Chain A
Amino acid sequence: MTAPLIEGRDLVLSFGNERVLDQVSLAIHPGEIITLIGPNGAGKSTLVKTLLGLQKPDSGEVVRKQGLTIGYVPQKLAIDQVLPMTVKRFLTLTRSVSRAECEGVLAQVGAGHVIDAQMSQLSGGETQRVMLARTLLLRPHLLVLDEPTQGVDVSGQAELYRLIDEIRHELDCAVLMISHDLHLVMAKTNQVVCFNRHVCCHGQPETVRQHPEYRSLFGVREADAIGIYTHEHDHEHDLSRHVVAGCGHDHSHDHHHHAHDHVTTVKEGAETNQ
């Protein structure tokens, strides 16, 4: 396999007494689409921030490929009203770009009309489109999306995912996405990483999709049935999200590379998504 674009090795991070990242190893290779799922408070955003270098781990290391360009789309970007910022100016935030180029990428994401609007006046969906337009200008090797559809209404979400997929093909980049909306991302993703302070397991969505329990859960109850996706682990997570029972398998090894030959089941976890 080619060298990873970015790789976190044995990342450990605690906030006070609470361990948020517990020996996390994750590598993203060129062309991969990895979706990170897990309950609220599982530390998904913290993991991403650590990979981006914004949060220093207590131990472990993040190795970035030389010359790697990362495009980052946050959950929602709240540009404060105290900061005047047109969409055009925002697109040129880290590099100069001509107005024509800005118009081009905005049109591509279906937001051509907002070029002179203030960022703080945009709706959630418009903001995310502008963020995606920015990544088109950046042409990153890796696109990192942190719950990119959170501030967007349901009808806009599918459209936004379609757009992300389109952009990914155009840029031919790797994608790391955090998402709750398992049913929407499953079709596009090639690796699902189930994460709750440590990498619980990871595998291809096909394995997951073909499983009868998955079908019963996501097939019947569809959109609302976005329960927490847990494989048949030998440990459970209690309501406060701590790992309760001791894990049968060795968590110190690199999950990323071990074969997932254990039975993969999807079920609604003890905690549900309210």
Chain B
Amino acid sequence: MMDDFLFRAILGGVLLAVVCGPFGAFIVWRRMAFFGDMLAHTALLGVALGLLIGVDIRIGMIATCLVAALLLSYGQRQARIGSDTVLGMLAHSTLALGMVALAFVQGVAVDLMAYLFGDILAINTGDILLLAVGGAFAFCVLAWMWRPLLALTVSPEIAAAEGIPVERLRLVFMLLMALVIGMAIKIVGVLLITALLIVPAASARFFARTPEQMAIGAGLFGAASVLAGIALSWHVDTPAGPSIVISAAAIFILSAGFAPVMRKLTSGA
């Protein structure tokens, strides 16, 4: 019989991977990997603030990610500082601020490693509930704005000409991403969350002919990475978060090797 914590880990991890699939695809297409990284860094500040104010740290993480996303969408409009610089400044200042704030948290021994690399085996029913509700919300909103967001990704000019509210969509997407990242940190941690978003999407690219195929493929590869990572962690006693990312990377390498063979087979047929 399967242990309860293992069941929760698998359920939570697979839920997250499925939600991360389509988001990861958009992050790859829109070249926002660094943006995802920056959001994750700010989450550590959310942990500290949560502990200091006495709010649930999950709420703290999601809230700081949302605020960071808003700040960034404002910062990117400032032409005099490049958007990569704005990102870097925000990411590292908030990370530093988070570390400093954590030093003020008294009485609680904060397990920093759990936030940096995730602690999927420790997720509880509350985490699962949050993932299910928040994940379903993010998934539905993304599905609802899929077509216009894709048009915007292909060409902002075409999207604008055809009456798509470009700026509003960009902002909503950023906020959704902040929500997903805020939820995901418990599982793979601040430093690894971007990998769970972009690596499965990159693997799926090899086999996809349409955006939708890539998004679905990313979800499947992500779920497979979670399962393989947990299995690895279970049998060899490795840290779970990093094991998940290693599995995702292995799937990417296999995909890269397998794709040319498959192409030859299909073109030969």
* Interface flag for B164 (CB, 8 Å): yes
* Interface flag for B168 (CB, 8 Å): no
Segment with Cβ contacts to A, from B64-72, B104-112, B207-215: B207-215
**Among the listed A52, A72, A94, which residue makes an inter-chain contact with B148, where contact means beta carbons less than 8 Å apart?**
A94
The answer on a CB contact under 8 Å between A69 and B211 is no
* Interface flag for A53 (CB, 8 Å): yes
The answer on a CB contact under 8 Å between B28 and A74 is no
Alpha-carbon separation in the docked complex, A94 to B208 (Å): 20
The answer on a CB contact under 8 Å between A15 and B157 is no
* Interface flag for A157 (CB, 8 Å): no
B interface secondary structure, majority: helix
The answer on a CB contact under 8 Å between A54 and B150 is no
Alpha-carbon separation in the docked complex, A53 to B148 (Å): 16
Chain A, residue nearest B165 (CB): A53
**Among the listed B151, B166, B205, which residue makes an inter-chain contact with A54, where contact means beta carbons less than 8 Å apart?**
B166
The answer on a CB contact under 8 Å between B214 and A74 is no
* Interface flag for A246 (CB, 8 Å): no
User: How many residues belonging to A are interface residues under a CB distance threshold of 8 Å?
Assistant: 27
Chain B's nearest CB lies how many Å from the CB of A44? 13
**Among the listed B148, B160, B166, B211, which residue makes an inter-chain contact with A85, where contact means beta carbons less than 8 Å apart?**
B211
Q: A74-B158, A93-B147, A144-B161 are in contact. Are A82 and B29 (CB under 8 A)?
A: yes
Residue of B28, B153, B157, B163 with most chain A CB atoms under a 10 A cut-off: B157
The answer on a CB contact under 8 Å between B79 and A54 is no
The answer on a CB contact under 8 Å between A77 and B155 is yes
The answer on a CB contact under 8 Å between A69 and B162 is yes
Alpha-carbon separation in the docked complex, A221 to B108 (Å): 83
* Interface flag for B154 (CB, 8 Å): yes
The answer on a CB contact under 8 Å between A85 and B210 is yes
The answer on a CB contact under 8 Å between B210 and A86 is yes
**Among the listed A52, A53, A71, A84, which residue makes an inter-chain contact with B209, where contact means beta carbons less than 8 Å apart?**
A84
Q: Mark B156-180, 1 if CB is under 8 A from A, else 0.
A: 1111111110100000000000000
User: How many residues belonging to B are interface residues under a CB distance threshold of 8 Å?
Assistant: 28
The answer on a CB contact under 8 Å between B155 and A74 is yes
**Among the listed B151, B209, B214, which residue makes an inter-chain contact with A86, where contact means beta carbons less than 8 Å apart?**
B209
The answer on a CB contact under 8 Å between B79 and A15 is yes
Chain B's nearest CB lies how many Å from the CB of A162? 23
Contacts of A86 in B (CB 8 A): 209-210
Alpha-carbon separation in the docked complex, A54 to B152 (Å): 11
The answer on a CB contact under 8 Å between B154 and A93 is yes
* Interface flag for A138 (CB, 8 Å): yes
The answer on a CB contact under 8 Å between B154 and A85 is yes
Q: A52-B157, A54-B160, A74-B155 are in contact. Are A80 and B29 (CB under 8 A)?
A: yes
Chain B, residue nearest A53 (CB): B160
Chain B's nearest CB lies how many Å from the CB of A24? 18
Chain B's nearest CB lies how many Å from the CB of A262? 34
Q: A54-B166, A93-B151, A94-B164 are in contact. Are A84 and B158 (CB under 8 A)?
A: no
* Interface flag for A239 (CB, 8 Å): no
The answer on a CB contact under 8 Å between A72 and B158 is yes
Alpha-carbon separation in the docked complex, A69 to B159 (Å): 12
The B133-157 residues at the A interface (CB cut-off 8 A) are 147-148, 150-151, 153-157
The A70-98 residues at the B interface (CB cut-off 8 A) are 70-72, 74, 77, 79-80, 82-86, 89-90, 93-94
Chain A's nearest CB lies how many Å from the CB of B198? 11
* Interface flag for A248 (CB, 8 Å): no
The A28-82 residues at the B interface (CB cut-off 8 A) are 49, 52-54, 69-72, 74, 77, 79-80, 82
The answer on a CB contact under 8 Å between B162 and A84 is no
The answer on a CB contact under 8 Å between B151 and A72 is no
**Among the listed A70, A77, A85, A89, which residue makes an inter-chain contact with B162, where contact means beta carbons less than 8 Å apart?**
A70
Alpha-carbon separation in the docked complex, A15 to B77 (Å): 12
The answer on a CB contact under 8 Å between A52 and B161 is yes
Alpha-carbon separation in the docked complex, A89 to B154 (Å): 12
The answer on a CB contact under 8 Å between B161 and A72 is yes
Contacts of A77 in B (CB 8 A): 154-155, 158
Residues of B that sit less than 8 Å from A by CB: 28-29, 31, 79, 147-148, 150-151, 153-164, 166, 205, 208-211, 213-214
A-B contact pairs, 9 of them (CB 8 A): A70-B162, A72-B158, A72-B160, A80-B29, A83-B211, A85-B154, A93-B151, A94-B159, A146-B157
**A74-B155, A84-B214, A146-B157 known; 14 other A-B pairs, CB under 8 Å?**
A54-B160, A54-B161, A70-B162, A83-B29, A83-B211, A84-B205, A84-B208, A84-B211, A90-B154, A93-B154, A93-B158, A94-B158, A94-B159, A94-B162
* Top 7 closest pairs, chain A to chain B, by CB: A72-B161, A54-B160, A84-B208, A70-B161, A83-B29, A52-B161, A89-B210
